[in-house]
């Protein structure tokens, strides 16, 4: 066998790195070099080879091969910045800054000169004295066995190996419990959530495209170039005659746009606005863009540096021109949940843009939002990225309308539209045309026009940076202005629909529905609305996906004649659909949503079990996670989960009880009702009042000693009142009252005594 191995090594032109030292120990005095280290001849003279003296509990000795160009132990470099020195340097030379490029160069040089680097191990941990003592005992036992050959010495070394393994397991559990117990009331919630997210999320790949490049036989830059080409590919709608004709019409209006705007939003930015924008941005954990200037650098510019930055912002605002260095963005690929890492399509792009630009975007956005809300630009059905609006507004619109139709004996059919890459394919020209149509002129219009033009993206790989790609469509991913600009583009969609068809929208999630007692009329009106919406999106360079668009009839009948299509492509009919996190079925029995909540909370419970048990862990940390994850998950769904069966209520209460058992350290045999009473936790059905409605809209009072119950009045918030207008839904007010007017015979939160509380919703 040895001759065959020697012949194979010679035929392949390989070199043996072994120096003859024994790599395998057999018995007290016999060792052999059966572990061969082979390499090609061109790198053999660069490598050093040695055998460790410690067996580390194995018969084979560890082999170390060192290359001068390859780092041994993984290490990371940490930059420590002296912020006082950084501010002093900014104040000394800030008067010489004239352009944005000079400002970026100044900040980068001052950061480098005010920082020092510290190299630390990637996974640093303190040494354990007991572990080191056991290792020393094992080494002495192994050497004693080699000298004497006594069976008892060999048995002692084997016993020490087992003791070391047992100690390592015990040490690992102890260290984790100590770390969790250190999460006290003084621990920041940021650190708590960082630990929770690291437990429930998959590890992030450092070089995700390296394995793909090796399998495809290409470089990482070529793979990154193909990835960027795919995400920037134009939509099919951009080649249709409808889109091209609308672009020509919009360009005529854009060319004649006035440079005289509204003085209140076109004025120069003030120092107060800039400081507010910096304060709001500094609270975000955002990675810096290609210029490597973070929010922390901007926050520590000092008075002189802040004034210089404000001057650059006002110069850009007055000229309507954004520095090109701010328009370049870095793309980082992130693996999608449940996808295989061996395909480019399994990754979604995360764009990192300049923090200097995003601070200015915040100032522009604040003025733009004031204009939009003051002039009521958005229809009431729009809930996305608006103050005092949330996703539940859209779900409640749909659910209350369906319940109202059921009460009147009518049939409701809802169509859930899916738009392909809506934010990435929105037309630039139509965004500017939409701004003109709502009255945005002057500085804001021309600044946003330049904000949308000449943008580029690139990627950094192990082989270097990829080529820069121009962004010709869509709103910038990660941009502060992007969601609002997208909503402005779709603001006129309400005028395209007939009044008998209702709709609701949250960003690119659209739902159309129609209620009628005549099936043929319902089918025609809803199909007409689907065609209008599809043409509306196509005119703005967006495609409606007929593969993912579905319709859901809310009826016990089969309704075989009810069929719909998108651009002559039939769309699927479903019996349940997940809309903005709520699974809605055709009978509104909420069985699917209850099961989804239970599965989701079970994952969170497993995470919490890693952070604490019955006898260890931080109670405060466990309580915070309970309120945020478990109770928050239930509270999100409860505003629409009414008319639940007793079994569904029991399931939801058991989820709350299971979580509180971990917090209180109670055994699993304690009944759910007793656990909730001990924790003063309201039942799941009461979360619609406790969590959904703000505290200022209701007050709580116990029953009197005479047995009479007091009436607790709840004043509806404005975000709920729009859904209960009798003019829009005649029976919806009754539905809302049936949802929230409850007689609760349960445990009081403050006194843990049984009481009856009447919750009353006054009429609008």
DSSP state letter for 692:
I
Of 411, 443, 472, the domain-final residue: 472
Query: Span 329-336, mean pLDDT?
Result: 90
Please check the confidence at residue 720 and state whether its pLDDT lies above 50.
no
User: What pLDDT score does 79 carry?
Assistant: 72
Q: What is the mean pLDDT of the chain?
A: 80
Q: Among 81-85, 120-124, 658-662, 724-728, whose mean pLDDT is lowest?
A: 724-728
Do 357 and 447 lie in one domain? The reply is: yes
User: CB-hemisphere CA count at 13 Å for 527?
Assistant: 16
758 confidence band (pLDDT: 50, 70, 90): very low
200 lies in some domain? no
713 lies in some domain? no
Please check the confidence at residue 375 and state whether its pLDDT lies above 60.
yes
119 confidence band (pLDDT: 50, 70, 90): low
Query: Span 106-115, mean pLDDT?
Result: 86
Alpha carbons 390 and 368: distance in angstroms, whole number: 20
Task: Name the one residue in this structure whose structure tokens are 């580029």.
Answer: 456
Please give the torsion angle defined by the CA atoms of residues 513, 574, 396 and 629, in that order, rounded to the nearest 10 degrees: -150
> Which of 67 and 600 is assigned the larger pLDDT?
600
Alpha carbons 575 and 592: distance in angstroms, whole number: 11
Please check the confidence at residue 176 and state whether its pLDDT lies above 60.
yes
556 lies in some domain? no
What percentage of the chain reaches a pLDDT higher than 90?
31
> Which of 738 and 229 is assigned the larger pLDDT?
229
User: What pLDDT score does 190 carry?
Assistant: 67
User: What pLDDT score does 186 carry?
Assistant: 58
Do 156 and 7 lie in one domain? The reply is: no
| Short-list 626, 616, 657, CA closest to 192 | 626
H helices of 516-637, where? 519-539, 591-611, 619-625, 631-637
User: What pLDDT score does 415 carry?
Assistant: 95
Do 155 and 216 lie in one domain? The reply is: no
398 lies in some domain? no
- The token pair that represents 11 in the structure block: 């035929």
Please check the confidence at residue 132 and state whether its pLDDT lies above 70.
yes
User: What pLDDT score does 638 carry?
Assistant: 86
Please check the confidence at residue 747 and state whether its pLDDT lies above 70.
no
Do 216 and 358 lie in one domain? The reply is: yes
Helix pair angle (355-374, 302-319), 10° resolution:
60
User: What pLDDT score does 28 carry?
Assistant: 61
Query: Span 392-417, mean pLDDT?
Result: 91
User: What pLDDT score does 128 carry?
Assistant: 65
Do 441 and 346 lie in one domain? The reply is: yes
Do 20 and 61 lie in one domain? The reply is: yes
| Domain range enclosing 72 | 1-82
User: What pLDDT score does 763 carry?
Assistant: 34
Q: Helix (H, G, I), strand (E, B), or coil: what is residue 207?
A: coil
User: What pLDDT score does 538 carry?
Assistant: 93
158 lies in some domain? yes
Q: Are 417 and 544 in contact (CB under 8 A)?
A: yes
Alpha carbons 357 and 228: distance in angstroms, whole number: 22
> Which of the residue ranges 19-23, 74-78, 212-216, 318-322 has the most confident prediction, judged by mean pLDDT?
318-322
Name 592's Cβ contacts closer than 8 Å, sequence gap at least 6.
576, 583, 585
How far are the Cα atoms of 86, 353, 363, 450 from residue 277, in angstroms, in the given order?
21, 16, 6, 21
Of 417, 446, 472, the domain-final residue: 472
Do 334 and 460 lie in one domain? The reply is: yes
User: What pLDDT score does 753 carry?
Assistant: 34
In total, the chain counts a number of residues equal to 764
99 confidence band (pLDDT: 50, 70, 90): confident
> Which of 206 and 476 is assigned the larger pLDDT?
476
Do 281 and 171 lie in one domain? The reply is: no
Do 56 and 4 lie in one domain? The reply is: yes
How far are the Cα atoms of 76, 514, 537, 543 from residue 508, in angstroms, in the given order?
41, 20, 11, 12
702 confidence band (pLDDT: 50, 70, 90): very low
User: What pLDDT score does 11 carry?
Assistant: 84
155 lies in some domain? yes
Q: Among 9-23, 280-294, 330-344, 696-710, whose mean pLDDT is lowest?
A: 696-710
Please check the confidence at residue 412 and state whether its pLDDT lies above 90.
yes
User: What pLDDT score does 118 carry?
Assistant: 64
Digit-coded pLDDT (tens) for 538-552: 999 999 988 899 999
How far are the Cα atoms of 479, 518, 702, 714, 717 from residue 329, in angstroms, in the given order?
10, 53, 58, 48, 41
pTM check: above 0.85: no
Query: Span 100-127, mean pLDDT?
Result: 74
> Which of 537 and 170 is assigned the larger pLDDT?
537
Do 298 and 149 lie in one domain? The reply is: no
564 lies in some domain? no
User: What pLDDT score does 700 carry?
Assistant: 36
Query: Span 422-426, mean pLDDT?
Result: 91
- The token pair that represents 281 in the structure block: 């941005």
User: What pLDDT score does 733 carry?
Assistant: 33
User: What pLDDT score does 338 carry?
Assistant: 76
490 lies in some domain? no
How many structural domains is the chain composed of?
3
Please check the confidence at residue 691 and state whether its pLDDT lies above 70.
no
Do 175 and 280 lie in one domain? The reply is: no
Do 46 and 141 lie in one domain? The reply is: no
- Going across the sheet that includes 711-713, the strands are 711-713, 754-760, 743-747
Report the CATH number that the domain containing residue 35 is assigned in CATH. 3.60.10.10
H helices of 71-205, where? 83-93, 100-113, 129-148, 151-181, 189-200
Q: DSSP per residue over 622-686, as a string?
A: HHHHIIIIIHHHHHHHTTT--S--HHHHHHHHHHHHHHHHHHHT--TTS-HHHHHHHHTPPPGGG
User: What pLDDT score does 433 carry?
Assistant: 93
């Amino acid at each position: 066998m040895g001759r065959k191995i020697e012949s194979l090594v010679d035929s392949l032109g390989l070199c043996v790195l072994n120096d003859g030292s024994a790599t395998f120990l057999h018995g007290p005095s016999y060792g052999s070099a059966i572990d061969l280290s082979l390499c090609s001849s061109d790198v053999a003279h660069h490598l050093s080879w040695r055998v460790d003296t410690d067996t580390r509990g194995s018969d084979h000795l560890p082999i170390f091969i060192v290359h001068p160009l390859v780092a041994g132990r993984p290490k990371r470099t940490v930059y420590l910045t002296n912020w006082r020195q950084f501010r002093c340097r900014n104040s000394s030379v800030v008067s010489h800054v004239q352009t944005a490029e000079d400002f970026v160069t100044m900040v980068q040089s001052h950061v480098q000169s005010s920082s020092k680097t510290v190299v630390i191990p990637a996974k640093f941990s303190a040494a354990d004295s007991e572990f080191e003592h056991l290792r020393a005992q094992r080494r002495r036992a192994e050497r004693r066995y080699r000298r004497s050959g006594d069976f008892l010495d060999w048995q002692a070394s084997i016993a020490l190996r087992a003791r070391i393994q047992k100690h390592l397991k015990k040490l690992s559990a102890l260290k984790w419990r100590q770390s969790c117990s250190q999460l006290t009331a003084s621990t920041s919630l940021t650190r708590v959530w960082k630990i929770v997210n690291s437990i429930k999320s998959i590890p992030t790949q450092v070089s995700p495209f390296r394995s793909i490049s090796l399998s495809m036989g290409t470089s990482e830059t070529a793979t990154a170039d193909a990835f960027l080409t795919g995400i920037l590919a134009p939509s099919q709608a951009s080649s249709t005659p409808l889109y091209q004709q609308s672009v020509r019409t919009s360009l005529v209006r854009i060319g004649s746009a006035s440079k005289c705007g509204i003085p209140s939003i076109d004025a120069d930015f003030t120092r107060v606005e800039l400081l507010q924008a910096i304060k709001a941005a500094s609270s975000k954990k955002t990675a810096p863009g290609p210029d490597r200037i973070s929010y922390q650098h901007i926050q520590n510019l000092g008075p002189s540096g802040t004034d210089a930055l404000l001057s650059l912002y006002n110069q850009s605002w007055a000229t309507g021109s954004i520095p090109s260095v701010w328009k370049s963005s870095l793309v980082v690929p992130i693996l999608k949940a449940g996808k295989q890492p061996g395909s480019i399509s399994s990754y979604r792009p995360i764009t990192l843009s300049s923090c200097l630009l995003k601070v200015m975007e915040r100032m522009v956005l604040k003025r733009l939002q004031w204009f939009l809300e003051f002039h009521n630009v958005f229809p009431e059905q729009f809930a996305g990225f608006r103050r005092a609006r949330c996703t539940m507004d859209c779900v409640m619109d749909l659910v209350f309308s369906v319940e109202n139709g059921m009460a009147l004996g009518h049939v409701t059919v809802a169509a859930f539209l899916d738009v392909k890459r809506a934010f990435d394919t929105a037309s630039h020209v139509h965004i500017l045309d939409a701004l003109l149509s709502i009255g945005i002129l002057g500085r804001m219009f021309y600044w946003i026009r330049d904000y949308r033009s000449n943008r580029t993206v690139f990627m950094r790989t192990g082989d270097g940076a990829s080529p820069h790609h121009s962004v010709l469509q869509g709103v910038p991913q990660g941009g502060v202005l992007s969601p609002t600009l997208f909503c402005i583009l779709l603001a006129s969609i309400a005028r395209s629909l007939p009044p008998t068809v209702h709709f609701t929208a949250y960003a690119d999630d659209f739902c159309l529905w129609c209620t009628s007692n005549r099936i043929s009329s319902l089918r025609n009106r809803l199909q007409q609305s689907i065609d209008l919406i599809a043409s509306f999106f196509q005119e703005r360079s967006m495609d409606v996906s007929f593969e993912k668009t579905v319709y859901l009839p809310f009826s016990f009948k089969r309704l075989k004649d009810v069929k719909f299509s998108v651009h002559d492509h039939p769309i699927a009919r479903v019996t349940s659909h997940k809309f903005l996190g709520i699974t809605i079925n055709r009978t509104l029995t909420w069985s699917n949503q209850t099961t989804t909540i239970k599965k989701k909370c079970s994952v969170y419970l497993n995470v919490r079990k890693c952070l604490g048990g019955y006898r260890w862990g931080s109670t405060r940390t466990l309580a915070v996670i309970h309120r945020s994850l478990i109770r928050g998950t239930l509270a999100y769904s409860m505003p629409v989960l009414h008319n639940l069966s007793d079994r569904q209520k029991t399931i939801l209460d058991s989820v709350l009880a299971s979580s509180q058992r971990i917090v209180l350290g109670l055994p699993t045999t304690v009944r759910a009702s007793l656990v909730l009473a001990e924790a003063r936790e309201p039942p799941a059905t009461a979360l619609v009042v406790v969590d959904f409605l703000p505290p200022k809209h209701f007050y709580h009072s116990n029953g009197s000693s005479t047995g009479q119950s007091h009436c607790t009045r709840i004043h509806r918030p404005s975000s709920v009142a729009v859904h209960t207008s009798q003019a829009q839904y005649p029976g919806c007010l009754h539905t809302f009252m049936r949802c929230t007017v409850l007689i609760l015979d349960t445990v009081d939160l403050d006194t843990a005594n049984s009481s009856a509380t009447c919750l009353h919703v006054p009429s609008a």
